[in-house]
Amino acid sequence: MAGEDFGELLDAMADPLVACDGEERIVYLNFAAERLLGWKLEELAGQPFARLVPQRLHSFDGQSFLCYLLGRRRALSGRPVRVFLLRQDGPELEVEVTVGTTGAGSRERIAVVLRRSPEFPDYTDEPLERQSSAVRTRAAHPGSAGERAYQLVFENAPLGLFHFDITPTLLACNDCFVRIMGSSKRMLIGLNLLTLQDEAITACVRDALAGRHAYYEGDYHAVTSGKVTPVRAHFAPCVSADGEVQGGLGIVEDVTEQRSAEAERSRLLREAQEAIRVRDDFLTIASHELKTPLTPLSLRLASLERRLERREPVDPALLRHARQHLVRLAALINDLLDASRIEAGRLALHFEPTRLDGIVERALTGMDAERGQHRIDYSHPEEPVCIRGDPYRLDQVIANLLENALKYSPADSTVSVTLDVSGDFALLAVADEGIGIPRDQQEQLFERYFRARNVSVTSYGGLGLGLYISRDIVERHGGRIWVESEVGRGATFYVALPLLSAANPTPLEPRPSTGSSQQVH
């Protein structure tokens, strides 16, 4: 057949075809190829075929793109390979390629047939990744219904799937894999998996090529986008009917959600364990605290009983001590009840116009039995300090601050109580010369059951509820409670409450710290 006739025949072909000589220089481009690739024969004649190939696909295993495809003809047994080629105007185009050769020496010709589906829409400038997956599925695999079904499964699987050959070059992947990897399909196809920086992944690829299954779990760092995705992957060898490993496939799962669910579960578990620990600690302390007054109370009642039986005179001090222990017991139980009421939002307050100076004085008088060798200094303004509040609950707050000041300071030291007026607020300060509070724990002092480490390791009793209850009461009065303290140098607790005269009190700024630390609540 004459060369001209032959050219006409090729031009009449529906499938695009590019013919090259033995040195991979383009000698012919039929009409269909011109139309598909946007090049004219005159522009490409004599050019290397590599002009049509994106840079990253230029070399496979040290061979040119065409050499590589020719070398794999037997393994592919006529099946096309999906690749990207460059159009004349720049964008890449995904096509199926089959190659064949004729002649030898200077007459050698390489025929590259670019196969398109009859359903494939005419060339569009849209990059392939932006076309619908349905179009890509149909376009890329026009074969039998079985193949199409296979392709649909491959494309729509909710797991990332990819396939690589023996070199190992990534030949195909689905959209889910593209999403997980965070790189475009164009970047992924043609990628040599041994060039990946993650050695654990390359080891899995090698295992698959050696005929073994391999598993990977870790954070995949996308080289191109820098995206980090926690993944789990299974690598499996692809083995031909005669038992030869021809490549491998990978199934990749994005485990981001599982990871965060696991992290959330661990957090909840830690919190639950911490809550159990706090509860257990609290039960130990509470049992101890509740039992402490019972022993002396029981002893005193027994002694009282004996005296009465023997008709001996009863010492009033004995009765007073017994009563003190009962009062202590009642106070502990009341604290427990108040704390649960606060948690349930049911601690009732009864507000009325009242004199804070009067409440402080009553609280100080109530401390007479407990003050022991402590000195208590009290200073207050001449005028009455009137507020709107619940006298019973405010007495509870002040009594708690005084009890703590006495409890956490040495017997012969001084506790200073100062009542003052500052702007729209009445300001009460209770200062002691005691053990103080570690700075890093001051923030937690007003939390339920919290006890600073310098008291829990010593023999100071307590449930860690007084300040928690006090904060609730003070805040519900529109006031604030805070502390300034240094370990070993005492503590000063402040309570600021709005004066009765202040209809809308300007919020009180915390007092500037004077060298020692300060916590506001």
Applying CB under 6 A, which residues contact ligand ADP? Answer: 400, 404-405, 408, 432, 434-437, 445, 450-452, 455, 462-468, 491
- What is the per-residue DSSP string for 370-393? T-TT-EEEEE--SS--EEEE-HHH
The residue (of 181 and 415) whose beta carbon lies closer to ligand ADP is 415
Question: Smallest gap, in angstroms, from Cβ of residue 453 to ligand ADP?
Answer: 8
H/E stretch holding 485 reads: strand 480-485
The residue (of 386 and 487) whose beta carbon lies closer to ligand ADP is 487
The residue (of 207 and 335) whose beta carbon lies closer to ligand ADP is 335
C-alpha radius of gyration, the chain, whole number: 43
CA 386 to chain centre: 51
Give the residue nearest to ligand ADP (CB).
462
Question: Smallest gap, in angstroms, from Cβ of residue 440 to ligand ADP?
Answer: 13
The residue (of 144 and 514) whose beta carbon lies closer to ligand ADP is 514
DSSP H helix total and E strand total for the chain: 17, 20
The residue (of 65 and 468) whose beta carbon lies closer to ligand ADP is 468
What amino acid is encoded at 511 in this protein? R
The residue (of 188 and 520) whose beta carbon lies closer to ligand ADP is 520
Question: Smallest gap, in angstroms, from Cβ of residue 297 to ligand ADP?
Answer: 19
Q: Are 498 and 422 in contact (CB under 8 A)?
A: no
Question: Smallest gap, in angstroms, from Cβ of residue 449 to ligand ADP?
Answer: 9
**15: its two tokens:** 């499938």
Residues in the chain, how many? 521
Residue whose token pair is 């392939």: 128
Question: Smallest gap, in angstroms, from Cβ of residue 451 to ligand ADP?
Answer: 3
Question: Smallest gap, in angstroms, from Cβ of residue 304 to ligand ADP?
Answer: 29
The residue (of 281 and 424) whose beta carbon lies closer to ligand ADP is 281
Q: How far apart are alpha carbons 474 and 393 in whole angstroms?
A: 9
Residues 6+ apart with CB under 8 A from 401: 430, 470, 493, 495
Question: Smallest gap, in angstroms, from Cβ of residue 452 to ligand ADP?
Answer: 3
Distance spanning both ends of the chain, measured CA to CA: 100
- Tell me the pairing of strands 59-60 and 63-64: antiparallel
- Local structure of residue 48 (DSSP, 8 states): B
